[in-house]
Amino acid sequence: MPYLLSCAKLSAWIAGAVLLQMIGLSLFVIGFFPVKPALSGVSGPESYRAPKCDSAEDREELPRIPPDQLRSSYREMSGISPFYDRLILVVIDGLPAEFVLGKNNESPTISMVEAMPYTQALLSNGKATGFHAKAAPPTVTMPRLKAMVSGAIGGFLDVAFNFDTQAFLDDNLLGQFYRIGWKMVMLGDETWIKLFPGLFMRQDGVSSFFVKDTIQVDYNVSRHLEAELQSDDWNLLILHYLGLDHVGHIGGRNSILMLPKLKEMDDVVMRIHQSISSPHDIHHRRTLLVIASDHGMTESGNHGGSSYEETDSLALFIGLESKLPEYAPATCKTVSQVDLAPTLALLLGVPISKNNAGILIAEIFDFLSDSELLRALELNSWQLLRLLQAQLPGLLCSNRDYRHLEYERGLGSNACKVSSIEDKFGCLFSKATALHDFWRSQEGQESDEFKGTLVAYYDFLTNASEWLSWRATDKPLEFLVPGIIALLVSCCMFLSILFRLCKEASLRRKHQHLDSVNPEMEWHLDDTFIIVLILILVISMGSSSMVEEEQYIWHFMTSTLYFIFLRKSIQLLLTAEAKKLCNGNKGSQYSKYYQFCSIFVVLVCGRILRGWHQGGVNWVHLLDISTWLEKVGHHFIQSIKISSMLFVVSFGIFGHCRSKSKGNFVLLIRGSFLASGLLLLYIMKYQDHTLTSSGPSSTLITQIVFLTLGVTVIVGALAFPWIVPLSNDASSAEQLSMIHCSIHQHISHPFLGLRCSSYSVGWLCMTCWCLLQLLLQRPTNAMPMSLLLLQILASMLYFSLHGHHKEWVEVSALYFLGLAGHFGLGNSNSIATIDVAGAFTGISSHSTFLSGILMFIITYASPLLCFLSMTMYASVKDGDALLSGQDVNLGVLLQAMIAFPCVVPVSLNSILLTMCTIILLLMRNHLFIWSVFSPKYLYACAATVCVYIGVSTVAATGIYLCSVYFFRTRKKISSNQHTATKNPN
């Protein structure tokens, strides 16, 4: 029976569906994740006047006056006495606030106190004031720096822009300082230089992404410190230390390098503080020292998500003259990271940035008089009111008067019981200004009125800041609706293609009477379960908790699917059909035991993978196997890694050891595996998960491993189709016999050579991929990679012995194994689980492109391994019979080889991506839209890229194998015909 859906038509439909899906995905991403809009221009003299109803009338061009005059004008209009002339901002990248201030009203641990004795002494003596500065997700460096200097809440896609920093053009503190003539010096993370090009009179930047470096990256900052502290030509000194963040990425919070690094940072604080507080300071400049961190880190040392550990950043003010001697209890106070921007602006005499959503920290202004403190709150309120007016144009423009409300002390925002958000903000602002005016009329004599005014201002500021921070970005329907429609149409196209393929496979089975009861035409438990599994996944996407704990779904569902396979095997063994499974070869009597053993191996390995990493959010603190291994010691982890490496190398050698054809070439491949394994052993002595960076020799050896594996894959994949015998060769059959018990009955089949080529190339690619992952993955992930490989091999063995599963079910099972393994390697739907440290393996200097590729390879190691296994999948299935009786051409051959391995994954992924898109739109106003659902959607987009790469690899390999085989077959036929013509007798 011929194929009803030709290869050309099938390819055209798939290409059209893919193109439509990419268009729809692009439209939706552009519409849902736009760059957050910001007010244009910069704050100027108008920021010291009350805002007007018409925002256009409120705009004022910044006067073109000399910086000195502008600085004096700002100080005069602000009504706040200037107190500081200079600012030293020390950013310690990745420092959790609890390391310095403790957690839950408890003091930091003894080890942390001993690591930073000078800083702790400043806190206990009231010479420093510390705060837990909550950072907004995504907790990566670039958007957090923007938040600190502008007070603005960045867009979610800033997590992507973090790797390609562009100049920051919005209003910010550094721009304001530059306009009043401040001289600025920057030492450390080059992100500052990229954000603010041309603003620094001196700068020395270091790359923030080369996380293997924990020493030189901080030495490059501190080496200039003494000279800068003695210099008097700057007003702002920025020091951004990266070493502590790099220590976290390499070894986590509990790294043996963490305490020495904290001691190093404490020494920096001591040197700076002693310099600015020295009585022998000849410059007599009033300097404020601020120690801040951009974000915290998880127990594993990563960041990017929204957990408490990641958002717990530090804000430490040193040099304040507080009227309260017991100021240390303020270390338990929590503020927002964006509150730094208005606080520093008012302390240093510049206007608050236009897009600021922060609130000044009142405790910092304790040295001000009552009138100056209320003036500072008034300026902050005016700035936030202007930002509100940009979002709510009708705010304060109505004729409604709120001053008739009861302005009694203690009523707070409860006095403003209004229907609309505009009326609420209008009421809160009017209440604060009325109380302020009344206090002024009393000439500041009533302390109770002062407290009431203070409370009223903070009611307005708090409500306005929260509304601005959590307000969903406008999402244009002209992008979202067409995007979703395109994704739905694309999904329907994929499913219709899959349905046609399944129908054709069933009709061919029925036409050839290969099965007496024709099971292909019936629905069985395994078929139904996969549909149920997809429905459960779709439904679970609507729950934030299920999204956070998605790994449980994949582990449970994949294990259940293989239990169904086990049940089906038992049923078949109890029937007469079991006798037909393996017939006519030496190993037939053992085939039923192979089936049980193969499924048993898959289930046992899956259970170990389930307990290897305690992923998700809710139970991440519980002990898992990887955590236990880290506690046992690094030598034990190295032993496991060596064992895993030996297993993978043995697997690669065993795969070709029985092939007697072209023995020299096979010997060369085996030698490549051995050489890579020996090089990996050499690298392991440098790859201690607690050490700083790989040595130069380790980097060179790593690059040699990359080259060796790459050349082996390319040369092997290109050569095997040419050197494997085409057919009628016992050695070719023997190569497959180890995994296919019935291969001997097909020794003379003309397509045996193609299957042997597919088997050899798939085996080669899987071995090299696992060796690459042993080099890139964390040391604790060496065993999970071996378990994943073992699961795939066991599945291949089971599918080769068991002929009663539909082909789409088997491909789905392999795909699900890859997704379950993705979580088994410690990945989750949080950006914090991305392994940044491994992305710099073998790289001597920072390269965003190369690091990004390695990061993707590490994150999607398991799904890509399963795609590589699908190259070998065609060799273990007895699909030759499907081609018998047909006029076989290249298109028919290709469709039989790669149709299901390509169409099934893209169809399943299309369902999940489309439903995830719809749910994201429905949840656009959910509280966790940016912390849970949006990261999940980014992972869904990345998984789509992974599927496209995997399917393209399978398709390209299949096309090459079939083309070479077809060419060699035609050439052999022509040669035989020519020989027959010359020798007619």
Is the bond into 117 cis (omega within 30 degrees of 0)?
A: no
Closest CA to 249 of 164, 310, 314: 310
In this prediction, residue 590 carries a pLDDT of 58
- Find, among 957, 953, 582, 599, the residue nearest to 790 by Cα: 599
> pLDDT by residue (tens digit) across 63-92?
577 888 888 888 888 888 777 889 999 999
Q: Distance (Å, rounded) from C-alpha 238 to C-alpha 216?
A: 18
What tokens does 627 get? Answer: 């955590």
Radius of gyration in angstroms for the set of CA atoms belonging to the chain, rounded to a whole number: 33
Residue 438 pLDDT > 60: yes
Q: Measured between alpha carbons, how far is 727 from 303 in angstroms, rounded to an integer? A: 55
Q: Contact 761/957 with Cβ under 8 angstroms?
A: yes
Burial class (CB in 10 A: 0-12, 13-18, 19+), 401: exposed
Name the more confident of 517 and 297. 297
Spatial distance between the Cα atoms of 433 and 156, rounded to a whole number of angstroms: 35
**CA–CA gap between residue 63 and residue 41 (Å, rounded):** 13
pLDDT reading at 165 higher than 70: no
Alpha carbon distance 909, 497 (integer Å): 14
Interhelix angle 890-922/861-876, nearest 10 degrees: 150
More confident residue, 680 or 949: 949
Q: Enter the DSSP assignment of 34.
A: P
What is the spatial order of strands in the sheet that 86-92 belongs to? 202-206, 184-189, 236-241, 86-92, 287-292, 312-318, 128-134, 334-336
Burial profile 330-339: b = 16 or more Cβ within 10 angstroms, e = fewer:
bbbeebbbbb
Partner residues linked to 281 by β-bridges: none
Q: Is 283 a residue whose pLDDT tops 60?
A: no
| Spatial separation of the C-alpha atoms in residues 368 and 444, rounded to whole Å | 14
Angle (nearest 5°) at CA 380 between 378 and 382: 70
- Torsion angle of C-alpha atoms 406, 412, 418, 422, degrees rounded to 10: 110
Reading the block at residue 766, the tokens are 């899987």
Contact yes or no for 530/812 (Cβ under 8 A): yes
| Sequence-separated (6 or more) residues with CB below 8 Å from residue 933 | 544, 547, 919, 920, 923, 926
pLDDT band of 636, cuts 50, 70, 90 = confident
Length of the chain counted residue by residue: 985
Range with the lowest mean pLDDT among 47-56, 344-353, 723-732?
723-732
Alpha carbons 697 and 717: distance in angstroms, whole number: 30
pLDDT tens per residue, range 93-138: 999 999 999 888 788 889 999 999 999 999 988 889 999 999 887 7
| Residue 720 φ then ψ, to 5° | -55, -45
Name the burial class of residue 928, with classes exposed (0-12), middle (13-18) and buried (19+) by CB atoms within 10 angstroms of its CB.
middle
Contact 304, 310 (CB under 8 A): yes
> Quick one: pLDDT at residue 772?
93
Segment 430-435 shows an average pLDDT of 88
Residue range 837-856: average pLDDT? 81
Tokens of 946: 């992974």
Name residue, tokens 């920093």: 165
Reply yes or no on whether the pLDDT at 970 is more than 90. no
Residue 846, token pair as written in the block:
């920072």
Spans of all domains in the chain: 84-357
What local confidence, expressed as pLDDT, does residue 702 receive? 86
Tens of pLDDT, residues 220-265: 899 989 999 988 889 999 999 999 998 988 888 888 889 999 999 9
Cβ atoms of 560 and 530 closer than 8 Å:
no
pLDDT (0 to 100) of residue 664:
76
* Confidence tier at 883 by pLDDT (50, 70, 90): low
Going by their DSSP bridges, the two strands 236-241 and 312-318 should be labelled as unpaired
Q: When comparing pLDDT for 370 and 60, which is higher? A: 370
The string of DSSP codes covering 499-538 is HHHHHHHHHHHHHHT-SSS-GGGS--HHHHHHHHHHHHHH
Phi-psi category of 616—alpha, beta or left, where left has phi over 0 and alpha has psi -120 to 50?
left
The two tokens of residue 520 are 């292909």
The predicted structure's pLDDT at residue 561? 92
Rounded to whole angstroms, how far apart are CA atoms 692 and 312?
25
Cα-to-chain-centroid distance, residue 965:
42
Q: Which amino acid is at 793?
A: L
Query: For residue 534, is pLDDT > 70?
Result: yes
Residue 785 half-sphere exposure toward CB, CA atoms < 13 A: 34
Section 733-746 average pLDDT = 42
Q: Which amino acid is at 481?
A: V
- pLDDT tens-place string over residues 289-299: 999 999 999 88
What would the mean pLDDT of 613-637 be, rounded to a whole number? Answer: 80
- Amino acid letter, 680: L
Which CATH number is associated with domain 84-357?
Answer: 3.40.720.10
Determine the Cα–Cα distance for residues 87 and 108; give it in Å rounded to an integer.
27
